[in-house]
Amino acid sequence: MNPTSFISRLEARARALGSLLCVGLDPHPELLNRKDASGALDACKRIVDQTHDLALAFKPNSAFFEALGSMGYEALRALIAHIRTVDPSVPVILDAKRGDIASTAEAYARAAFEYLDADAITLSPYLGIDSISPFLKYPGRGGFVLCATSNPSAAEFQGLMSEGESIAEQVARAVSRWDQRGEALGIVVGATDPATAARIRAAAPDAWFLLPGVGTQGGDLESALEASLRPDGLGVLVNASRALFKAPDPRAEALKLCDSIAAAAQTIKGRRAVHNPDLHALAKALYDSGCVRFGKFTLKSGAESPIYLDLRRLSSSPAAMRVVVQQLAALVSRLSFDHLAPIPYAAMPMGAILAFQMGRSLIYPRREAKDYGTKTAVEGVFKEGDTALMIDDLATTGGSKFEAAEKLTAAGLRVREIVVVIDREGGARESLESAGYRLHALTTLSALLPPLEKMGAISPSQRVEIEAFLRGG
């Protein structure tokens, strides 16, 4: 990668600074003491002066300056000049969401990069590469393409499906084609929908995400980062604006945000370290034991699948069970709970072995409550208010997890987290997280395919067929 390119400079600053904070400069009128251009400029300069050594980037919002007329536009130019004076190394991302073609796009590019002197600009992909290419003609400059935004109605178009993928996923792949060297373009991915962010990350594994929506819009920082961070711990700009403008001490608030981002990233790194190094061993254990099979299988739904999972077979393969339980123990040891609660029946053997190895209490929800004796729906010894960590073999839609959680909750237990061996990526994570549960998986089904191909369990063409099936294609 060209060391002077926009993306390489962004990465270099991220590594040197140890920060993923993008400071949004959005001078909303209600946040200003003086509601004119001078008031907007002074308010933004105050934020810049107190946070420039903490900010990975600044993102002034063009709309709030344009609304103030010609004086506002000059204030925007003066703000960027001020940032250059205070710290020339901080990238400036102009939040303008431009999207047009031909001479109009060229004029927008000149305004952003020549007159205002921004380093990057937010762009709309709706008109295709014609609306993006004029901005790629400026060496060292870049853009963030709108992909999966954080507004409530974003899915109206971005969520439409075509050839097994959402429009947002296809935009992410298009951005990778448009910027094959990864030197100029990132993508905008909202923090309010971690499930979509995870799919976008799968579609664009190396891209930088501009991540709005944390805080005022309701995005959860840790969930958003877990879905968005690259394996190297980079690739995300967490935007914050109103929190800084409202704070009596913007620097203290920025430090707090940086600490929160760093803590969440460290937690995620620890969780990922559980299974990533052992993915090959896990895939081999599941394949050797016949828990993962390939061919033509008719599912309960009537659909024909090229892959079939049956983790009940683990009970007949001590070697494979050992690998799975060891990896589960590494994951579970990082979580806080009072009791392990495997869901009958597939998870019962691994849950019992896991509880024995870890020296932890085991309880479990019955499939049917007894109609005699204690008539209990949950077996084991516990007290009201205890936390149960649910364990299962697979997560598909999440239906069985809701049923089990309901029984545990009705018995007075608290359920916050669920651990599975394989997330089949059938919507369980989204459903569970929307209901307030956090799903942890040793692996996803799609992540198993590369090591299985590498060991010769499937051919490249089989992998393509299975991936198409998983996408619904």
How is residue 167 written in tokens?
């429009």
Cβ-contact 80, 92 below 8 angstroms: yes
Cis peptide upstream of residue 126 (ω within 30 degrees of 0) = no
Instruction: Say whether 97 is catalytic.
Output: yes
Residue 150 is which amino acid? S
Distances (CA, A) of 397 to 359, 429, 431, 433: 31, 8, 7, 12
| Cα 220 from Cα 125, distance rounded (Å) | 26
Distance separating alpha carbons of residues 352 and 332, to the nearest angstrom: 14
**Residue 389 near residue 408 (C-beta atoms within 8 A):** no
- Catalytic position from the list 35, 45, 97, 300: 97
CA angle 32–37–38, rounded 5-degree value = 80
Long-range contacts of 151-157 (CB under 8 A, 24+ apart): 151/190, 154/190, 154/193
Burial of residue 446 (number of CB atoms within 10 Å: 0-12, 13-18, 19+):
middle
Which residues are part of the catalytic machinery? Answer: 97
